[in-house]
Structure 1
Amino acid sequence: MVEPSGILTLVVNPAAGAGTARRLAAPVAGRLSAQLPGTAVRTVLTDSLAHADAVMREVVDQALAEPDRGPHSLVTMGGDGMSHLGLNAAAGTPVRLGVVPAGTGNDFCRGVRLPRRMGEAVDAISSWRVGEIDLAVASGSLRHPGGVGRTDRRWLGSVLSTGYDARVNRRTNSARLRLGPLSYAWGALAELARFSPLHYSITLDGQHRDLDAMLVAVGNAGWIGGGMRICPRADVHDGMLDITIIRPVSRKVLLAALATVYTGAFARLPFVETLRARTVRIDGEGLFAMADGEEFGDLPLTVSCRPRALHLLGAR
């Protein structure tokens, strides 16, 4: 292997994994330094979502301003929220993104086939192997990734969800009791008790439809909720978005279907429709969107695929 050079910045959410990220940040940085001789490795422990977002954007700005200092790499250590901030900072730039998973869900790593164990993730980053993957970009009146203010464009790596799954996601995020991987399942049961079908207006590559549905999900990588394959055929190398529509069914039928989402087998059920498109516009009265486990904003919004938008360290 050719000895690498350049700058690598490890941005850590110390609270991730109930404090595991704080405890292991120094060993992870040390291992990266040992395996990447000639690369300047620095570590930043963040204290808020806004701080993490600002640090990552500063890393990218520095890389663009100093291209002669060698390759710049941004490595996040935390959960899906940290990787989401990282891809929003690095998308469309030469900066390579690496992910050291330290959260409970790690759906982004699942979807792009990155290791979900810390040691294996460090080894994958240290291989200096870089792959280019597709991302999705949403446009509309959206919350800023850093949590402060608004933006008209925001990148996502996994899934943008609206309807039942979005409401479950919001409930899970706001829950005081954290149950780890079971949190999403608990939220799904709690939300189901009062849920009814919603009316949508969607346009896929110019083809318009009005419909009632339990949910409409738009996938780039396809995973939500700590291992649920809501868009099971999603591929981050095909230049397409995968859309899953669950048409109106009873609460009992929907509950039974949830058990099969973890394997992706639910996509074969008669009330589930799977489609593909390059651009999707979604609207619906009183509806909102979640993506990569984060609040995105109210509908309407448009989601488009951007092929090869991210340079991903350790990609297979």
Structure 2
Amino acid sequence: MTLREIAMLTNPTAGKGRGARFRDAATERLRAAGVAVRALQGRDADEALDLAREAVSAGTEALVVVGGDGMVHIGVQAVAGTGTPLGLVAAGTGNDVARYFDLPRKDPVAAAERLLPGTTRTVDLARSGTQHFVTVLAAGFDAIVNERANKMTWPKGQMRYNIATLAELRTFEPIPYTLELDGVTHTLEAMLVAVGNGPSFGGGLRITEGAVLDDGMLDVVIIKPMSKPGLIRTYPKLFKGTHTTHPAYEHHLVRSVTVAAPGIVSYADGERFGPLPLTVECAPGALTVLA
């Protein structure tokens, strides 16, 4: 389809203010191409989601979000299962979803030009109750790191996660889990459990390396107990996905997983998702993306 009109939802503070600048540049390019752009901006995440849902209900041709994976997360809640395409002008810190679809991450005009042909791709989502996510559910050491990193004001970008990782390592101990993988119960201790719809999170950490967006399955990765020096040595391998050869790595391909562990608040798409236990299932073909 050729785009004629869209609703554009923006996080103006994304990427240290890139959100507002990228919105303006993308809007100018789209309007120059004859696309009607309706600008949406909530005062907080809840209002942003309400605006997005209203636009989808009103029949917008596409919902385009400007920001990082957090804005994608909001947009996904509005379009999941509706068939309304989701577009992305990446302006965040991690931008893993933009990586998935090889979308521009530094050029809003190029991102707008990718939207114009209206080319779409249908992919899966992961679903827990009424919530959905695109990337990875972090449910262990990675979630604890996310909690710390989100409370930090310095530094910005990936280095914040690196520093939070080192800080949490000082006191971290393996977590007792109960997992139900397609109905089979496993009791174990692990450093982390990650549930991937896609292969990476946190700005290119390929924890669920090999995850395919449209295979109707979830990738559950378990990192079994290992020494803290071993974890530090293995951490850089996450950026290339070469951690999969480590003896502590375990991988399961499932349609549904229940993750239970004491005191863990899970994260998905870089956002707080909910305390464990959680049941996550694959929602095949639930998302249409302008890509």
**TM-score normalized with structure 1 length:** 0.88
Q: Deviations over 1:6-56 (max 9, x none)?
A: x30111111112112212322211101223x3x421222333222211211
Counterparts of 1:216 and 1:111, CA distance in 2: 21
Report the CA distance between 1:201 and its aligned residue: 0.4
Does residue 60 of structure 1 match 2:56?
yes
The match for 2:30 is: 32
Counterparts of 1:96 and 1:3, CA distance in 2: 12
Does residue 137 of structure 1 match 2:123?
no
Counterparts of 1:292 and 1:270, CA distance in 2: 27
Report the CA distance between 1:3 and its aligned residue: 4.8
More strand by share: 1
Once the two structures are aligned, what percentage of the paired residues are identical?
Answer: 39
Q: Check conservation: 1:213, 1:246, Cα contact below 8 A.
A: yes
Counterparts of 1:216 and 1:160, CA distance in 2: 8
Does residue 241 of structure 1 match 2:218?
yes
Does residue 107 of structure 1 match 2:96?
yes
Structure 2 residue corresponding to 1:166, chosen from 127, 143, 168: 143
Report the CA distance between 1:72 and its aligned residue: 1.5
The residue type equivalent to 1:161 in the other structure is: A
The residue type equivalent to 2:93 in the other structure is: T
Unaligned runs of 5+ in 2: none
The match for 1:298 is: 275
User: CA 1:156/1:3 → structure 2, altered by over 3 Å: closer, same or farther?
Assistant: closer
Counterparts of 1:24 and 1:216, CA distance in 2: 35
Does residue 265 of structure 1 match 2:261?
no
Does residue 48 of structure 1 match 2:44?
yes
Report the CA distance between 1:296 and its aligned residue: 1.2
| Residue pairs, 1:1-316, within 5 angstroms | 3-5=2-4, 7-35=5-33, 37=34, 39-63=35-59, 72-117=61-106, 118-139=108-129, 153-314=130-291
Q: Check conservation: 2:12, 2:20, Cα contact below 8 A.
A: yes
Q: Check conservation: 2:124, 2:282, Cα contact below 8 A.
A: yes
Report the CA distance between 1:4 and its aligned residue: 4.0
User: CA 1:214/1:31 → structure 2, altered by over 3 Å: closer, same or farther?
Assistant: same
Q: Check conservation: 2:143, 2:264, Cα contact below 8 A.
A: no
Q: SS state of the match for residue 223, structure 1?
A: coil
Report the CA distance between 1:106 and its aligned residue: 0.3
Calculate the aligned-residue CA RMSD, in Å: 1.4
User: CA 1:252/1:312 → structure 2, altered by over 3 Å: closer, same or farther?
Assistant: same
The residue type equivalent to 1:131 in the other structure is: R
Q: SS state of the match for residue 262, structure 2?
A: coil
The residue type equivalent to 1:30 in the other structure is: E
Counterparts of 2:133 and 2:21, CA distance in 1: 28
Counterparts of 1:46 and 1:218, CA distance in 2: 29
Q: Deviations over 1:120-171 (max 9, x none)?
A: 32121112101101100013xxxxxxxxxxxxx2100000011100000111
The residue type equivalent to 2:20 in the other structure is: R
Report the CA distance between 1:251 and its aligned residue: 0.7
